[in-house]
A and B are shown apart, each in its own frame.
Chain A
């Protein structure tokens, strides 16, 4: 009887469990996905759900002609190991596609893609 009560309670707790976001998934970005920004935007900031290893992270930003708009390798923001920053040089208006690959400190790789638009 006690065992079945425990099992029922355990099942209920599992059914109502909160989500824990393991692996480095993109939580937010500046510019955000789908945002419209000015050409003066000088950096892209990616915020992940976990701390990342910058030596094994890549971020490419391509304009509609396929030209690279990122400058240099991504770096973690001091004091924020879950944030990656990369410098931008946005030359023309149009759609820019961000393709990121991240390695989290718990040894897992994740990747994703989103775009933003530069308007004059």
Chain B
């Protein structure tokens, strides 16, 4: 595989890890907000397993990239160095440790503590981004936008599997769906605002959406997000008012949202591996 194929693979693994993390956090958050339901613990553990598998694959590929190693033995030898001496290494391991702790709390029925711990792990991902690495006023602004973006995305996309389960099992699905809509609206507003501000700093110019890999992937994310919004609007204005008759249709629509959300997170994983267009021309010498 050439470099760009490895880059995409690293990004996809990062996206899967993020999706699993979002799912585990979102399930705990949903239970903390709307009350526990049978099946939520299993859903949270499924998210944990996906976060662990995606994270392990991402860690391996990232180590191979850091050490410029191809042979499995060389990558294996570099793992302790990455774990101990890079922010990526210790932060990824710490985040997985925190998620495991959160899952144990969820297993014990302490959903609020689980949501808080997993939420911290979700937000910590921002310290692997451009803003935290840059420092200074611009870096701090980017870090703040990233925290808002990732937090709001986790609250929305991460709670969708739990919502699908709850819509199927709740005695009052309409009240639940209406309460969820309010959460969704806040998240969407925060995602839109923080995405725009990050694009403004990292992409720099409209033409870069079509002329760079970063811009094109960001554009794909925007299109997928628009699709998610359309589905969410249909759920809110068409399917929710006719509940419980439309229970099946709503569950199907949420399943589509989850599928689109997974693709969007995979694209997000890839975009985080690419150089933002605004930095073009910085090489010296």
B contact face: mostly helix, strand, loop, or mixed? helix
Smallest Cβ distance from A63 to chain B, in angstroms? 17
Indicate if the CB atoms of B87 and A53 lie closer than 8 Å: yes
Query: Assuming the A-B contacts A51-B133, A104-B133, are A15 and B205 also in contact, with contact meaning beta carbons closer than 8 angstroms in the complex?
Result: yes
Cα A112 to Cα B134 in complex, Å, equals 19
Contacts of B86 in A (CB 8 A): 53, 55-56, 103, 105
Cα A98 to Cα B130 in complex, Å, equals 26
B199 within 8 Å of A by Cβ?
yes
Cα A114 to Cα B106 in complex, Å, equals 55
B60 within 8 Å of A by Cβ?
no
Cα A104 to Cα B129 in complex, Å, equals 10
Q: Which of A19-27, A64-72, A87-95 makes up part of the contact surface?
A: A19-27
Q: Which of B44-52, B110-118, B271-279 makes up part of the contact surface?
A: B271-279
Smallest Cβ distance from A71 to chain B, in angstroms? 21
Binary flags per residue of B260-285, CB closer than 8 Å to A gives 1, else 0? 00000000000001011011001111
Q: Which of A20, A106, A112, A115 has the most CB of B within 10 A?
A: A20
Indicate if the CB atoms of A20 and B201 lie closer than 8 Å: yes
Cα A21 to Cα B127 in complex, Å, equals 16
Q: Which of B87, B206, B279 contacts A14 (CB 8 A)?
A: B206
A36 within 8 Å of B by Cβ?
no
Contacts of A109 in B (CB 8 A): 65-66
- Count of residues in A whose CB is under 8 Å from the partner chain: 38
Contacts of A49 in B (CB 8 A): 134, 279, 282
Cα A101 to Cα B129 in complex, Å, equals 20
Smallest Cβ distance from B223 to chain A, in angstroms? 16
B142 within 8 Å of A by Cβ?
yes
Smallest Cβ distance from A99 to chain B, in angstroms? 9
A17 within 8 Å of B by Cβ?
yes
Q: Which of A19, A29, A109, A114 has the most CB of B within 10 A?
A: A19
Indicate if the CB atoms of A50 and B278 lie closer than 8 Å: no
B175 within 8 Å of A by Cβ?
no
Cα A22 to Cα B281 in complex, Å, equals 12
Indicate if the CB atoms of A24 and B279 lie closer than 8 Å: no
In the complex, what residue of chain B is closest to A25 when comparing beta carbons?
B282
Query: Assuming the A-B contacts A21-B278, A22-B133, A50-B134, are A33 and B284 also in contact, with contact meaning beta carbons closer than 8 angstroms in the complex?
Result: yes
A interface, CB within 8 angstroms of B: 10-11, 13-15, 17-27, 29, 33, 49-51, 53, 55-56, 82, 98, 103-110, 112-115
9 further A-B pairs in the complex, CB-CB below 8 A; given A18-B138, A18-B278: A17-B200, A22-B130, A22-B134, A26-B285, A33-B285, A49-B279, A107-B88, A114-B285, A115-B285
